[in-house]
Amino acid sequence: MLVSRARDFLASGPSDAVDLIAHVCQLPSPPRFVADHMAMALLAPWDEFAREEDGRWCLVPDVEPFTGTHVAAAAPVAPSIGGGSTARAVDRPRREERLRELSYVVVDVETTGGGTYAGDRITEIAAIVVKDGKVTREYETLVNPQRPIPPMVTRLTNITWDMVRNAPTFRDIAQDVAEVLRGHVFVAHNAGFDWRFVSNELTRATGGRLDGRRLCTVKLARRVLPQLPRRSLDYLARYYGVENTARHRAGGDARATAQVLIRMLRELETRGCHTWPELETFLSVVNRGRRRRRRSALPRPMDRDTTA
């Protein structure tokens, strides 16, 4: 009901969060801090809503309500940025694709926090393309998140507001990011985190949707290296002798993850795992006796390495 009210209210044009929440939730003059958080929690999960650069909320053209399915390619970037329904029609393999024949784009993002629903944004992004066991392309840039960077995040990443003040916004680089992602398997260490942020930023900037295959190096390490006590990026890099010269920076972590990926793909071949369907089957097997990792009540906004 609240989402329906928001859609009806925004049909007449973009609105400030305070006015929007006051109407939708029938709250007289809610504080801006409260309104911003309520609007983000209510509308961010739906593709039909977007937040403009000035902070106002609006409806995204050509998106079916509640489904997030684009019905027209009117956005600057095609609806299937990473290889979705449109791209799959020409990208679907006629035979079983061999892992060594695929290309991978290893992505890492640094952000203002851990929650897209809370309005956190990307401060840095790196994408490393891997093909035939080698790095063939690197993309890296700071990003102006258009919101403050919390001190605790700065202490972890060493990314300050002065560093991103004059950096491009994600809208400025959206076309470049979409181009470097297109046609590759999306890979990241704890891929759900990076996928979610990149997808949200691309949708906000272009109206396009990030779709396609993805591979999580944490999940891959659980099967390839079950003997390791942890599967954090530090542990994997140390095991394979990979040096990370810029820990908790997008470029350093993406390069290290790319080298770890290359080595794990080699190990998969020695175990008789050669095709994408075989990899999916391999990853679907649950290690017996694996301990359930206790979830902390506190978010880990920047250190997304999973220990189990």
Nearest to 254 by CA among 121, 124, 99: 124
Per the model's pLDDT, the better-predicted residue between 293 and 228 turns out to be 228
| pLDDT-derived band at 126, boundaries 50, 70, 90 | very high
Residue 248 annotated to the active site: yes
Question: How do residues 157-185 score in pLDDT, each as one tens digit?
Answer: 999 999 999 999 999 999 999 999 999 99
Distance CA 138, CA 23 (A): 46
CB 209 within 8 Å of CB 62: no
pLDDT-derived band at 95, boundaries 50, 70, 90: low
pLDDT digits (tens, 9 = 90+) for 191-212: 988 999 999 999 889 887 788 8
- Structure confidence by residue, pLDDT tens digits, 140-155: 999 999 999 999 999 9
| Domain coordinates in residue numbering, the chain | 2-59, 85-284
What is the CATH code for 85-284?
Answer: 3.30.420.10
pLDDT confidence band for 37 (50 / 70 / 90): confident
Which of 18-32, 182-196, 271-285 has the lowest average pLDDT?
18-32
User: How many whole angstroms separate alpha carbon 230 and alpha carbon 251?
Assistant: 22
Per-range mean pLDDT, top range of 30-39, 48-57, 143-152, 283-292: 143-152
What average pLDDT score do residues 228-254 get?
91
Confidence of residue 305 (pLDDT cuts 50, 70, 90): low
pTM of the model: 0.67
Catalytic option among 23, 37, 248, 274: 248
Dihedral angle, C-alpha 163, 164, 165, 168, nearest 10 °: 140
